[in-house]
A and B are shown apart, each in its own frame.
Chain A
Amino acid sequence: MRKAISILMGAALAASLAIPALAADSATLTGAGGTAIYPVLSKWAAAYKESKSVEVNYQAIGSGGGIAQIKAKTVAFANSDKPLKPEDLKANKLAQFPGVIIGIVPVINLKGVAPGALVLDGKTLADIFMGTIAKWNDPAIKALNPDVELPDAQIITVHRSDGSGTTFNFAYYLAKVSKAWRDKIGADTSLPWPTGVGGKGNAGVAAYVQQVAGSIGYVEYAYAIENKMTYTSLVNADGKTVEPSLAAFQAASSNADFSKTQDFYLVLANQSGEKSWPITAFTYMLMRRDASKEDNQAVLQFMSWFLNDDGAQAAAKQLEYVPLPAETVSLIKEYWKSELGITL
């Protein structure tokens, strides 16, 4: 029996040794994080494998999950739609830079309402998600939409059930424009939702909104377009009504001035500008400062490829993501050089 046990132990030991050996395989880059970037990142990964035969294995487990994984050193890079504060980065030996620009849009399921036809402003949106505005024909919604026929139906709000950078940016915007939201709910990846239904991931929220009549949720723009959902227009900081579009996200992001920030820490919510979409965000890449130089180099080669390659950038636009402007890309490269000691 002793022999049998020692054989078993030996097998277990071999298995436990085999796992790190696999993870260290240089032809595979492992990453984890937000679901908002997943559609474009998976496309980039496929193209990168084809041209450079390096596999990128990205797990879309949510921004908070990505942060936890990179802190635990289990992945080579992480993605988060919520930027980490410079002191948090320092404490965990992490480096942070933006990857792509995303837009978060409210989506609704109301019969006979076309995409963009319904107009909401930040305060009304906050009241809806707090349950203060409970019906679609509420005077506040009517005042913004004199020409839309609004039913006498309950509003069912759909939010993320998992912690989410999309939630963080959405809540950050609502906290900026609504005092009640700021006092009662706050802004984080998970929130104490006073009402509504929770769906898992961007895909979960999209599915719930599509299934439940009279519902409203919020998703990354690519999910709204891919699923042909009815998004709303929003009134922005300049008081102008805007529809979500690549141009509107670009307009909001053009206000970003990274040269004054540390570790690119910036939340874009509620930017000024006539054409700015109010819930625009950078989604961030996180890497370890204490990882081996070869490992970081392999990851940065992939990132440098999708930040510069024309095909990769076209693929992003096709999926309704806004590529980073050239000035930002060169700032990122300087950051790589100064913080990670890698020149590409």
Chain B
Amino acid sequence: MPTQAPGHASGPSSQRYDRPFRQLTQVTAVLVLVMLVAIAVSLLWQGWPAFRQFGFGFLVSNDWDPVADRYGALSPIYGTLLSSLIALLIAVPVSLGIAVFITELAPPWLKRPVSTAIEMLAGIPSVIFGMWGLFIFAPAFAGLEPWLTSHLGPIPGLGLLFQGPPMGIGVLSASFILSIMIVPFISSIMREVFLLTPPMLKESAYGLGATTWEVVWNVVLPYTKTAVVGGIFLGLGRALGETMAVTFVIGNAHQIAASLLAPGTSISAVLANEFSEATTPMYRSSLLALGFILFVITFAVLVLAKVMLLRLQNSEGQ
């Protein structure tokens, strides 16, 4: 932290206003750190009885039994990671397409409406996505699922992912809804940074006879990859913690099924569903421990993103 405002004529009046201002901004910055640590510590503290009671088994057990007061966090952790990963698999190519279209291919009169529409998509509250998912998307998806089962189901290995009765509610539905929710974030970051690519570079490539695809793949993406990866991780961060939309469509079942069409659950969905009804101390502690795990996962994703960005920057130097 800088201790002195640099390059400033230290007149008595500017001194008077600068010091309190600097201290005030310092306080707000420190406040964020304090809050972050305080939240992590209080989650761990409240969740500690569960960690102590079940030990490492809390992370690897799938036994969620409120009657016997036994809890295991594996199925919500699994559901959180799986639904977020599938959402990324869907959202990244789509976002890339949107960003390339807007920056390179769209006629000028179309750029603004498409960009605005995406920004508006980002502004829709997640509970709306959840309701839309349950009442419109799920029935439509239930109609599509028998097709998935009959066409992809017989493939050895991969087919296991597409078994079970067509419900329209399940891990795959939740992933789809999540992907729709994170596309605006990822695509708008991609678009912003694609626009930052120096026109000189692009024009030179076009001048050498490169196609649009070659320009995007060999010029724009290498130039912007750090920011693109950052945008993808921002989307992942949002997907991991998303609560309401997922709760509506994931099925809220404490189970780990091979099939993506089967219901599952996620950490945030479990918290939203069960917190107000957690009547025993161990139940409540287990939910708070789940909250701590979600905190750690999100934190790990951010650290991973930072490490990857650093690596990318280093390799650029070579």
Contacts and interface: CB of A to CB of B under 8 A. Distances in A.
A265 B278 CA distance: 22
Given A1-B24, A190-B66, A212 B169 contact: yes
Among B134, B265, B283, the one with the most A-chain Cβ atoms within 10 Å of its Cβ is B134
A192 B276 contact: no
B67 A185 contact: yes
Contact of B23 (A1, A67, A215): A1
Contact of A192 (B68, B247, B278, B283): B68
Interface residues of A, number: 38
A75 B164 CA distance: 45
Q: Which of B169, B272, B278 has the most CB of A within 10 A?
A: B169
Interface in B163-201: 164-169
Interface stretch (B135-143, B216-224, B289-297): B135-143
Interface in A180-232: 185-193, 195-200, 207-208, 211-215
Interface stretch (B7-15, B50-58, B250-258, B305-313): B250-258
Contacts of A62: 276-277
B24 A161 contact: no
Given A161-B252, A163-B277, A197-B251, A192 B67 contact: yes
A236 interface: no
A248 interface: no
Interface residues of B, number: 37
A313 to B, nearest CB: 30
A186 B68 CA distance: 9
Interface string B21-39: 0011001000000000000
A211 B168 contact: yes
Nearest to A190: B66
A193 B265 CA distance: 13
B15 to A, nearest CB: 15
Interface in A68-103: 68
A270 interface: no
B253 A163 contact: no
Contacts of A199: 252
A200 B165 contact: no
Contact of B253 (A188, A198, A211): A198
18 contacts: A1-B23, A64-B276, A65-B276, A65-B277, A156-B165, A156-B167, A163-B279, A185-B67, A187-B67, A188-B66, A189-B279, A193-B254, A197-B252, A198-B253, A199-B252, A200-B272, A212-B167, A212-B168
Interface of A: 1, 4, 61-65, 67-68, 153-154, 156, 161-164, 185-193, 195-200, 207-208, 211-215
Interface of B: 20, 23-24, 27, 63-68, 134-135, 138-139, 142, 164-169, 247, 251-255, 263, 265, 272-274, 276-279, 283
